[in-house]
């Protein structure tokens, strides 16, 4: 494992948390005496594969999350490009997801040119990485309304792209519902008609119209989401756990690779569903 100098190395042993959801509330800069001079070291820690690997079970495994939060608080714009590494490689991890969304949302329009290419990169085969990129752009549009048109244009371009990525398109449809992007309705309709939208994480065309307020719901039809089991997935990233978890990494590891994949898909679908209710 990599070694780190003071004060960044303090993050490797930090565990004074009442719950996992206190992570973003801590003032890391003040608590650990961090400064902009520590940004290169924090970027290295946030991308440290020894700690980010899925079977990491030590207290140090939470350190990359603390480093991500510290980079956000330091407003470390120079980390935008380097942090694509954990984004592309660890997009199944709920804690990485939450921290990266907060980080990239901080920089609003400056993040978009870096995140946008991920959605069109055919060399990225992990659908979770592309889904996270979509979540980041959606968050930017929500938190920074001046970027909304640019963000929606990105999603429209994804739906129009060839060859189509139906699973990604299903997620993009949900992002457009979240943003109530009525300007994207014609593009979404064409995507459904061309069978370019996978329903794994998305709506049917009828569901989409109802969610966008374009038609009344048909009480005789069930939404696609009614057939999904969300009982084991968190309803949102902000839902508090039932017990303290000083090291979130000790509680987040799946028992098998397939179990991890299924859990991640459930969590992602639940996150999209919950966001639509807000």
> DSSP assignment of 215-252, as one string?
S---TTS--GGGGS--TTS-S-TTPPPSS--SSHHHHH
Q: What is the pLDDT of residues 97-134, one digit of tens each?
A: 999 999 999 999 999 999 999 999 999 988 999 999 99
The whole-angstrom separation of Cα 106 and Cα 117 is 19
What's the pTM value of the predicted model, to 2 decimals? 0.81
Is residue 275 pLDDT above 90, yes or no?
A: no
Q: Is 180 left (phi over 0), alpha (psi -120 to 50) or beta?
A: left
When the pLDDT of each residue in the chain is averaged and rounded to a whole number, the result is 82
Q: What is the pLDDT of residue 247?
A: 46
Q: Residue 89: which H helix or E strand, with range? A: helix 84-89
Higher-confidence residue of 34 and 238: namely: 34
Is residue 21 pLDDT above 70, yes or no?
A: no
Q: What is the pLDDT of residues 41-62, one digit of tens each?
A: 999 999 998 888 755 566 778 8
- The secondary structure of 100-134, three-state, reads HHHHHHHCHHHCHHHHHHHHHCCCCCCHHHHHHHH
């Amino acid at each position: 494992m990599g070694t780190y100098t003071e004060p960044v190395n303090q993050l490797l042993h930090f565990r004074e948390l009442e719950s996992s959801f206190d992570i973003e509330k801590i003032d890391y800069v003040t608590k650990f005496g961090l400064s902009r001079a520590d940004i290169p070291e924090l970027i290295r820690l946030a991308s440290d594969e020894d700690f980010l690997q899925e079977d990491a079970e030590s207290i140090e495994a939470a350190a990359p999350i603390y480093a991500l939060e510290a980079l956000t608080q330091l407003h470390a714009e120079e980390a935008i490009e380097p942090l694509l590494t954990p984004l592309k490689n660890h997009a199944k991890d709920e804690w990485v997801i939450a921290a990266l969304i907060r980080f990239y949302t901080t920089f609003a329009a400056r993040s978009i040119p870096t995140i946008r290419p991920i959605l069109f990169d055919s060399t990225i085969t992990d659908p979770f990485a592309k889904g996270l990129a979509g979540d980041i752009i959606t968050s930017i549009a929500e938190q920074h309304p001046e970027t909304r048109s640019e963000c929606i244009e990105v999603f429209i371009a994804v739906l129009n792209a060839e060859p189509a990525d139906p699973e990604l398109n299903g997620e993009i449809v949900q992002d457009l519902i979240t943003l109530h992007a009525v300007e994207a309705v014609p593009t979404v309709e064409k995507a459904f008609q061309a069978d370019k939208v996978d329903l794994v994480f998305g709506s049917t065309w009828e569901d989409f119209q109802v969610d966008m307020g374009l038609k009344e719901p048909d009480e005789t039809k069930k939404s696609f989401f009614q057939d999904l089991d969300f009982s084991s997935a968190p309803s949102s990233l902000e839902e508090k756990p039932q017990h303290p978890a000083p090291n979130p990494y000790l509680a987040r590891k799946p028992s098998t690779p397939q179990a991890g994949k299924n859990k991640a898909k459930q969590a992602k679908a639940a996150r999209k569903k919950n966001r639509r209710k807000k």
